[in-house]
Amino acid sequence: MSNKKVPMLNRHIRALSERLVQGEPLTHNMLSWAKQHVEWSLAEGDYTARDGVLMLVIDINGNAAMTVGEYEPLADTSAKALRARSAEARSEADETGVAPELLAAVNDGRLAFVAPADECLCGTATLIEQLAQTKGIPVARVDIPAQLKGALFLVSDEHGVVPADDTDAAESDAATVAFFAEGYEKLRARR
């Protein structure tokens, strides 16, 4: 959340539309409610924070609630920590169909996400994929995190683009990750 708005809200709603609750997709009414509730609540609600994290929770009965909290940056951005976060998000994807965070890497000018080929990507990952396409960067998906080489980073709906602080990557690959981070921040900062 930035300035009481959700950057890339439509991307996030599209990813939400691919999520499953109890093995079933969300209804059109739920998706419409979610988008309207987010927009109206942030514009007119009593949330004091202008920037932070918005979380929408949908329980197994299809009931939804929204909460807003303070943003806390990742304390550990080592490759090991990013791999652990990605593994946790992969477990969520196994249940809901969409991982809120993905491990990715740029190696020899190619982008790879750790995600099944047929899986819908989270909102931030769709942006990164589109940014890569605008630069003619080939995009692939791999099944195993160990297959990633080069400039490792986390793609997260909460944290954006988070480069691993301890990878030994080619300067050009690290620059590509920086380009992705700048593109994300540009959208996030729009007021």
pLDDT in tens, 84-104: 999 999 988 888 888 899 999
Residues of the chain with CATH 3.20.10.10: 79-189
Confirm whether pTM is higher than 0.95.
no
Per-residue pLDDT of 117-175, as tens digits, reads 998 899 999 999 999 999 999 999 999 998 899 999 999 999 999 999 998 899 999 99
> Does 81 or 15 have the greater pLDDT score?
81
Q: Which CATH class is domain 79-189?
A: alpha beta
- Sign of the Cα torsion 23, 33, 15, 70 reads negative
pLDDT per position as a tens digit, 20-44:
787 888 888 888 888 887 887 777 7
Q: Rounded to whole angstroms, what are the CA distances from 100 to 81, 82, 166, 169?
A: 16, 13, 23, 25
Render pLDDT for 44-89 as a digit per residue (tens, 0 to 9): 777 677 777 877 788 877 788 888 888 899 999 999 999 999 999 9
Q: What is the DSSP letter of 161?
A: E
